[in-house]
Chains A and B, each alone.
Chain A
């Protein structure tokens, strides 16, 4: 009996030993596995474009102020003296830049004259050509656990931060072997006296082990496991590696569903700058939060966070890391944390969808979620904010006017840099911050009259047959369809207008004349233009496509207009500027792609008419000063029964498209003019873009013609209009009754005499 008890004891001991060894082996492999690889799966970070301020560059001061506000810069009255502050006087803006990448933090003074940056000077008076504001963090590509971090290497960890962490969290870090018996005993006595858990007594290695493998609950069993894991970590890794892992892994804050880990990301999250640019009080705040990220959160509990920060400062003062004076100065500083730029996944869901679409062309999903890529997009946060505000504001106004008819009104809007095809802002709903169906990329809708410029562009390429004063027939039309049915297009005003010049047919958006024009040109000619504009779909061969039954998404439609806005140069839309690996080594750049798809002359003619849309057509109502300043042009679109309200228009370098309608495709009281154009107008008035002058193509000549019959006329002839022609295609006929009023303009004789006079003056 005795023997068998002994045997059972031995066997139990052996089984226990085997289980313990097995457990330790499993834990050991987990430790190595996690610290060697799995831990460092870092989600991709997505940023807006960094704003560059260049001497001699154009600037909109209101836009700059808005950008600074979005980046949580604080407006001060005097000269800013800490990073993240700015001040403004009549002709200058002072910015204390936080610093980003190679851009040093510091105070810069911008002198602004006539919408231009006249000079940029540093605090010491030295002139600078170019400065860069830090880009706004707008989202990420997160793995399912939603842990987010920025990995640092040891050289990126400031020495004073390292010392501060050790003073506060583990003074004996370099002398213990993972667990500190002295700390454990101290905690044990304190907890026994309190009959509960009051103090942890964990070393940094134990805290790392806890963060990597265990739940936050504090039990004796978990403490033992944690201690074993800590010992294993110490066996495999050097002290420096352990400290770096801790600095990169420690949990510091929660933002929605996103967990903020590590000091690298915490620095960006709370202060909007790199760790290297933080002041001591800012570092002390972060170190103080380690004890309880939620309890000492400077956002939720600022008073507690400040008390804790001051305690950290007093500890480093006691260790002679700072002097008494420094301590008093640092203690006197306010917390000045910035609000999170986004919670959970992305600040701008619709734009994020476009970025994801572009990224998937080059990266697979796991790369995006694990390799710590830094994605610099083309998003302009100021433009994006204006876009969001304008759709919300306009919807409110429209609802006031049309009442419950507009319940459930949805919309989409995209803004691009027409020159480069860079997508700078996007919304996929009238509630822009909502996730869900993204109408900007997914709503396939009939584009109404937005199609017409494509038809007219097809015509204008045939110089010998069509010019702006070519007469088109807008009388009643019946088209036989297969199956014997008749299709009879009508105009929006329910009238027919007989023979009208081509430019009038387009600016007034007449359906009948356009259908005839499309049919005269033929489907293949129109298809060719569609393809050159970047439209990948084949056009169906029925005549209603010439007046808008053609369906596109807002993203596809704006691509087609990009080529027109950009003088005939096609650039594929692109939301990304660069993708960099976490070590700041360039991984992939997205260069400008430009292809000349149309000669400048037909585009010039078309843009002349699209400008008329604003002067006398369906977008009229803007002052001539604004039309000239913005160099604007555009087109309204309304589908059958007003189910879709569209507007696309360019101003300055911006091209914006707006769609309004209902997801269930019901009728709306809105036309392109009364709906989408109002959003465009609201947006552009906020943005007030500055346009560049473009040279008129050398073969373009202006000629006075009659607005009705398109024949030659003169400046002082009644009903005449000055319109452009490709050289040699001007009308030749001048009716007898107009010869007199045409002669009064500057004659060829006068021109010759003037030329001779000019030549003599030059001599």
Chain B
């Protein structure tokens, strides 16, 4: 017996309707939760490859040109391993805009390099609350937030 696509779709819809009537709605999982769950075993591995993460973070730009200028200044200090000044510049950026994921990501990484793991994770968690964050930014933030 051959089942064409339309028959399959109708069956699927009917099955969905039937299931919908008999059981409670299935809970949705946010994209980034899903992604991290999927790759959860790799997360710890990624945290051991800080150079890879750093490279990825440096590719994340700010939306506002003023914050981007601050990011360039902070990245310059970061490259020179002046973590204190890099951190100060990033905090200056946060005072201007609290909705720039690029700042949270860098602060999470800089704090990690400073040996402040709890703070690194806290900055990442804060970044996760940013409504404007892209899926990729959220995924990166989730990696740092997993350090607890």
Are A and B co-members of a single complex? yes
CA distance A365 to B131 in the complex (A): 45
* Given A591-B87, A594-B122, A749-B21, residue A693 in contact with residue B131 (CB < 8 A): yes
Question: A629 to nearest B CB, angstroms?
Answer: 16
| B122:A596 contact, CB within 8 angstroms | yes
CA distance A694 to B98 in the complex (A): 10
Question: A283 to nearest B CB, angstroms?
Answer: 33
Q: Which of B66, B88, B118 has the most CB of A within 10 A?
A: B66
Question: Which B residues lie within 8 Å of A756 (CB)?
Answer: 13
Interchain Cβ contacts within 8 Å, total number:
104
B2 at the interface (CB under 8 A from A): no
Stretch at the interface among A52-60, A81-89, A223-231, A529-537: A52-60
User: Which residues of chain A in 727-763 are interfacial with respect to chain B, using CB atoms and an 8 Å cutoff?
Assistant: 727-728, 747-749, 751-753, 756
| A54:B66 contact, CB within 8 angstroms | yes
- Among candidates B67, B107, B126, B128, residue contacting A56 with C-beta atoms closer than 8 Å: B67
Question: B122 to nearest A CB, angstroms?
Answer: 4
| B64:A694 contact, CB within 8 angstroms | no
- Among candidates B27, B68, B119, residue contacting A594 with C-beta atoms closer than 8 Å: B119
CA distance A495 to B79 in the complex (A): 65
| A52:B129 contact, CB within 8 angstroms | no
Nearest-neighbor residue (CB-CB) of B33 within chain A: A698
A10 at the interface (CB under 8 A from B): no
Question: A279 to nearest B CB, angstroms?
Answer: 30
Question: B63 to nearest A CB, angstroms?
Answer: 7
- Fill in one digit per residue for B66-108: 1 if any A CB lies within 8 Å of its CB, else 0: 1111100000000000001101100110111111000000010
* Given A55-B64, A57-B96, residue A130 in contact with residue B129 (CB < 8 A): no
| A749:B125 contact, CB within 8 angstroms | no
CA distance A591 to B25 in the complex (A): 46
| B84:A727 contact, CB within 8 angstroms | no
| A57:B129 contact, CB within 8 angstroms | no
- Fill in one digit per residue for A553-584: 1 if any B CB lies within 8 Å of its CB, else 0: 00000000000000101000000001000000
Question: B25 to nearest A CB, angstroms?
Answer: 5
Question: Which B residues lie within 8 Å of A586 (CB)?
Answer: 85
CA distance A748 to B24 in the complex (A): 8
| A749:B63 contact, CB within 8 angstroms | no
Question: Which B residues lie within 8 Å of A57 (CB)?
Answer: 64, 66, 96-97
User: Which residues of chain B in 19-76 are interfacial with respect to chain A, using CB atoms and an 8 Å cutoff?
Assistant: 20-21, 25, 27, 29-30, 32-33, 63-70
Question: Which A residues lie within 8 Å of B67 (CB)?
Answer: 54, 56
Question: Which B residues lie within 8 Å of A600 (CB)?
Answer: 125, 129
- Fill in one digit per residue for A408-434: 1 if any B CB lies within 8 Å of its CB, else 0: 000000000001100000000000000
| A747:B20 contact, CB within 8 angstroms | yes
Question: Which A residues lie within 8 Å of B69 (CB)?
Answer: 129-130
Question: Which B residues lie within 8 Å of A595 (CB)?
Answer: 118-119, 122
Nearest-neighbor residue (CB-CB) of A52 within chain B: B96
A343 at the interface (CB under 8 A from B): no
* Given A591-B91, A596-B121, residue A419 in contact with residue B66 (CB < 8 A): no
| B30:A693 contact, CB within 8 angstroms | no
A653 at the interface (CB under 8 A from B): yes
CA distance A728 to B94 in the complex (A): 35
Question: Which B residues lie within 8 Å of A54 (CB)?
Answer: 64, 66-67, 96-97
* Given A594-B119, A748-B20, A756-B13, residue A695 in contact with residue B129 (CB < 8 A): yes
| B88:A692 contact, CB within 8 angstroms | no
| B98:A653 contact, CB within 8 angstroms | yes
| A695:B131 contact, CB within 8 angstroms | yes
* Given A54-B66, A727-B27, residue A693 in contact with residue B91 (CB < 8 A): no
Question: B127 to nearest A CB, angstroms?
Answer: 10
> Please, how many residues of chain A have a CB less than 8 angstroms from a CB on the other chain?
39
- Among candidates B20, B27, B125, B129, residue contacting A694 with C-beta atoms closer than 8 Å: B129
| B131:A694 contact, CB within 8 angstroms | yes
CA distance A698 to B31 in the complex (A): 9
> Please, how many residues of chain B have a CB less than 8 angstroms from a CB on the other chain?
45
CA distance A593 to B33 in the complex (A): 26
CA distance A287 to B42 in the complex (A): 71
- Among candidates B17, B95, B129, residue contacting A749 with C-beta atoms closer than 8 Å: B17
CA distance A692 to B95 in the complex (A): 12
- Among candidates B25, B94, B126, residue contacting A748 with C-beta atoms closer than 8 Å: B25
| A692:B99 contact, CB within 8 angstroms | yes
| B122:A419 contact, CB within 8 angstroms | no
B16 at the interface (CB under 8 A from A): yes
Question: Which A residues lie within 8 Å of B123 (CB)?
Answer: 594
CA distance A419 to B87 in the complex (A): 16
Nearest-neighbor residue (CB-CB) of B133 within chain A: A695
Nearest-neighbor residue (CB-CB) of B107 within chain A: A592
Q: Which of B84, B85, B96, B99 has the most CB of A within 10 A?
A: B96
| A56:B20 contact, CB within 8 angstroms | no
* Given A593-B119, A693-B99, residue A130 in contact with residue B66 (CB < 8 A): yes
Question: A142 to nearest B CB, angstroms?
Answer: 28
Nearest-neighbor residue (CB-CB) of B119 within chain A: A594
Nearest-neighbor residue (CB-CB) of B96 within chain A: A54
- Fill in one digit per residue for A92-123: 1 if any B CB lies within 8 Å of its CB, else 0: 00000000000000000000000000000000
CA distance A742 to B84 in the complex (A): 56
Nearest-neighbor residue (CB-CB) of B90 within chain A: A592
Question: Which B residues lie within 8 Å of A153 (CB)?
Answer: none
- Among candidates A52, A130, A589, A596, residue contacting B84 with C-beta atoms closer than 8 Å: A589
| B95:A52 contact, CB within 8 angstroms | yes
A701 at the interface (CB under 8 A from B): yes
Q: Which of B21, B87, B91, B121 has the most CB of A within 10 A?
A: B91
| B66:A55 contact, CB within 8 angstroms | yes
- Fill in one digit per residue for B116-148: 1 if any A CB lies within 8 Å of its CB, else 0: 001101110110111111000000000000000
Nearest-neighbor residue (CB-CB) of A571 within chain B: B122
Question: A575 to nearest B CB, angstroms?
Answer: 15
Question: A637 to nearest B CB, angstroms?
Answer: 28
- Among candidates A130, A419, A569, A578, residue contacting B125 with C-beta atoms closer than 8 Å: A569
| B129:A596 contact, CB within 8 angstroms | no
Nearest-neighbor residue (CB-CB) of A732 within chain B: B24
CA distance A426 to B96 in the complex (A): 22
Question: Which B residues lie within 8 Å of A56 (CB)?
Answer: 63-67, 97
Question: Which B residues lie within 8 Å of A698 (CB)?
Answer: 29-30, 32-33
CA distance A567 to B125 in the complex (A): 10
Nearest-neighbor residue (CB-CB) of B63 within chain A: A56
CA distance A363 to B107 in the complex (A): 27
Question: Which B residues lie within 8 Å of A55 (CB)?
Answer: 64-66
Question: Which A residues lie within 8 Å of B122 (CB)?
Answer: 569, 594-596
Nearest-neighbor residue (CB-CB) of A570 within chain B: B122
Nearest-neighbor residue (CB-CB) of B118 within chain A: A595
| B125:A596 contact, CB within 8 angstroms | yes
Question: Which B residues lie within 8 Å of A589 (CB)?
Answer: 84, 88
Nearest-neighbor residue (CB-CB) of B32 within chain A: A698
Further contacts, 5 of them, CB under 8 A, given A57-B64, A694-B131: A54-B64, A56-B66, A595-B119, A698-B30, A748-B21
Contacts A/B (CB < 8 Å), 14 sampled: A54-B64, A56-B63, A129-B65, A130-B69, A420-B91, A567-B126, A589-B84, A591-B84, A592-B107, A595-B119, A596-B121, A600-B129, A697-B129, A701-B27
Residues of A within 8 A of B (CB): 52, 54-58, 129-130, 419-420, 567, 569, 578, 586, 589, 591-596, 600, 653, 692-695, 697-698, 701, 727-728, 747-749, 751-753, 756
8 closest A-B pairs by beta carbon, nearest first, are A54-B66, A56-B64, A698-B30, A748-B20, A693-B131, A129-B66, A594-B122, A129-B69
